[in-house]
């Protein structure tokens, strides 16, 4: 009886240990299994271009295929693209180039071996504003002068011509190519142009007239004596 009790106790202890080990292994297996909750998606902008990014944070690194669909009225309108990814604990991100429109809906499906074959819930809804270029600066416009500005600006005076210096009229020195008048110096030229010439001529005419009157008087006097 004592042996049977000991055996039963040993078997019982062994069973409890086995169950604990199985539970531990089961929990560990579930913890290491790939799950849809380890996948996430977001719509963002790369400059003026739209991008849909999907991140895989599966620590076991199970290869997965991610497919993105554009939804319209609850149905697939078109496929955006499909890529493969192998996740990590830190996360691995893949990008799908898509010029998405504001508040558009996308369905992201994940297929990872026999562990995951479902969509990321909820569906992805894009932001309410589309992507825009980061460079929105415009060159400043050149100001157009108004008519008042043109009228108020003084006109530029024309260049005033500088009067040229008169040529020298000084007579050339004698002996430098200018012939001298015969008979002497410069007094002859000055005499010919003197203002006393008219007075001298008047005196000469008066003397001639006086002489003529004297001669006429003498003739008459001689004729009277002859009678």
Query: DSSP letters along 15-82, please?
Result: HHHHHHHHHHHHHHHHHHS--GGGEEEEEEEETTEEEEEEEE--TT--EEEEEEEEEETTEEEEEEEE
Residue 222 falls within a domain, yes or no? no
Residue 21 falls within a domain, yes or no? no
| Confidence (pLDDT) at 198 | 73
| Closest to 123 measured CA to CA, from 40, 57, 38 | 40
Q: How confident is the model at residue 19 (pLDDT cuts 50, 70, 90)?
A: low
Overall average pLDDT of the 96-122 stretch: 96
SS3 106: strand
Residue 49 falls within a domain, yes or no? yes
pLDDT at 120 over 90: yes
Mention every residue, 6+ apart, whose C-beta is less than 8 A from residue 99: 49, 50, 131
Domain count, the chain: 1
Lowest pLDDT segment from 137-141, 149-153, 170-174, 209-213? 170-174
Chain centre to alpha carbon of residue 206: 102
pLDDT digits (tens, 9 = 90+) for 150-202: 555 555 555 555 555 555 555 544 444 445 444 444 444 444 445 566 778 78
Calpha distance 82→139 (Å, rounded): 42
pLDDT at 147 over 70: no
Q: In this predicted model, which residue has the larger pLDDT, 149 or 192?
A: 149
Residue 25 falls within a domain, yes or no? no
Residue 8 falls within a domain, yes or no? no
Calpha distance 195→187 (Å, rounded): 14
Domain hosting residue 78, numbered range? 36-125
pLDDT digits (tens, 9 = 90+) for 36-85: 999 999 999 999 999 999 999 999 999 999 999 999 998 999 999 999 99
Q: In this predicted model, which residue has the larger pLDDT, 145 or 177?
A: 145
- Predicted TM-score (pTM) of the model is 0.48
Which CATH number covers residue 40?
2.60.40.10
Q: In this predicted model, which residue has the larger pLDDT, 171 or 125?
A: 125
Residue 18 falls within a domain, yes or no? no
Residue 14 falls within a domain, yes or no? no
Q: In this predicted model, which residue has the larger pLDDT, 212 or 98?
A: 98
| Confidence (pLDDT) at 55 | 97
pLDDT at 22 over 60: no
| Closest to 31 measured CA to CA, from 58, 63, 55 | 58
| Confidence (pLDDT) at 129 | 94
Residue 29 falls within a domain, yes or no? no
């Amino acid at each position: 009886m004592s042996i049977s009790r000991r055996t039963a106790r040993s078997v019982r202890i062994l069973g409890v240990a086995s169950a604990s080990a199985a539970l531990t292994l089961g929990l560990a297996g579930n913890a290491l299994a790939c799950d849809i909750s380890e996948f996430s998606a977001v719509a963002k902008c790369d400059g003026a271009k739209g991008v849909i990014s999907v991140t895989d944070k599966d620590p076991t690194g199970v290869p997965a295929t991610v497919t993105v669909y554009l939804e319209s009225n609850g149905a697939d309108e078109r496929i955006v693209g499909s890529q493969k990814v192998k996740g990590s604990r830190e996360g691995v991100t893949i990008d799908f180039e898509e010029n998405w429109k504001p508040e558009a809906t996308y369905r992201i499906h994940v297929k990872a071996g026999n562990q995951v074959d479902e969509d990321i819930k909820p569906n992805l809804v894009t932001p309410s504003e589309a992507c825009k270029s980061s460079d929105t600066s415009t060159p400043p416009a050149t100001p157009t002068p108004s008519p008042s500005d043109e009228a108020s600006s003084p006109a530029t005076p024309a260049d005033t011509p500088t009067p040229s210096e008169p040529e020298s009229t000084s007579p050339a020195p004698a002996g430098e190519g200018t012939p001298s008048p015969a008979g002497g110096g410069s007094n002859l030229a000055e005499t010919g142009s003197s203002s006393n010439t008219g007075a001298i001529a008047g005196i000469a005419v008066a003397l001639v007239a006086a002489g003529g009157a004297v001669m006429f008087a003498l003739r008459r006097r001689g004729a009277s004596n002859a009678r």
